[in-house]
Amino acid sequence: MTAEKTEAIVIRTVPWSETSSIVTLFTRDFGKITAVAKGARRLKSPFETALDLLAKSHVVFIAKSNDALDLLTEAKLIRRFRSGQRALTQLYCGYYLAELVHVFTENHMRLPGVFESLDESLVKLDEMHHPAKIVLAFELKFLSQLGHLPTFELCAGCGHFVESDPGGTYLFGAEAGGLLCSGCLPGQRSVLRIRSETVDCFREAIVESESKNEDTWNIPTISREEVRIVMERFLCSLVDRRLRLMDFLDDLRR
């Protein structure tokens, strides 16, 4: 058993005993880890504020084999998530990104780019950029890193290009994983009818968030509600349940 060193973002923390916590960290080099932090709940914790939720820290841990929890031996704060003290929306968005990463990843599964995306998004939330955009850009980038990006150009059923219907709307299949043409509609469950503005917004968000041109795109007011409905339905259908923090993101719909 060797001690591993890396940078990490704290995505979950639960009390384990009177003096210890179990912390879930998303690390730069090892993906998600779940570790015991002995003494973390003491008044004079050796970890100080380095294990606060959404904090970014240098950590040292001992990886245990098979299903045993890893052991966290050191944590030193690099940056704390401050915007939570100023704005609830920002705080809930930060918690939501942490929950997303927690729910959609397995321990010790390396996922290149996820640490950096989460890190950058938390910094932007802290700088009070537009939270609806930061959340959507993160969701799309993260889904792409997981290989689950929904399709907004081609039909999720047959792969052909999808035209909007005469009323200017599209069909989105949450379970199918993207837009649907009328031929692929029969038998599909969890289908939403969405505006073409919303489809354009998703297309632009996917291209622009990949190229980091985040100042050049926006979520039109008319699509804000639909964007959340589409993302939430799609994400819930992937894991078969609703994420807890989704109930706290109403501000993103306005």
For the chain, the residue count is 254
Longest dimension (CA), the chain: 66
| Least distance in angstroms from the C-beta of 182 to Zn ion | 8
Tokens coding 91: 């705080």
Both tokens assigned to 27: 């690390």
Shortest approach of Zn ion to residue 155 CB, angstroms? 3
Least Å distance, CB 65 to Zn ion, is: 47
Neighbours of 77 (CB within 10 A): 15
**Cα gap 11→33, rounded to integer Å:** 10
Give least dist CB 164 to Zn ion, A. Answer: 14
SS3 assignment for 19-55: CCEEEEEEECCCEEEEEEECCCCCCCCCCCCCCCCCC
Q: Of the two residues 128 and 158, which places its CB atom closer to Zn ion in the complex?
A: 158
The site for Zn ion (CB under 5 A) is made up of 155, 157-158, 181, 184
- In this complex, which beta carbon is closest to Zn ion, that of residue 118 or of residue 181? 181
Closest CB to Zn ion among residues 185, 238: 185
- Nearer to Zn ion among residue 137 and residue 181 (C-beta): 181
Query: For residues 40 and 179, which CB has a smaller minimum distance to Zn ion in the complex?
Result: 179
State the DSSP H helix or E strand holding residue 209, giving kind and residue range, or none if neither.
Answer: helix 196-210
Distances 246 to 43, 67, 77, 239 between C-alpha atoms, Å: 33, 30, 28, 14
Closer residue to Zn ion in complex, CB, 40/156: 156
**What are 140-144's contacts with CB under 8 Å, separation 24+?**
140/202, 140/205, 140/206, 140/209, 141/113, 141/117, 141/209, 141/210, 142/100, 142/101, 142/104, 142/114, 142/117, 144/206, 144/210
Q: Measured from the CB of residue 159, what is the shortest distance to Zn ion in angstroms?
A: 7
Nearest distance from C-beta of residue 165 to Zn ion, angstroms: 13
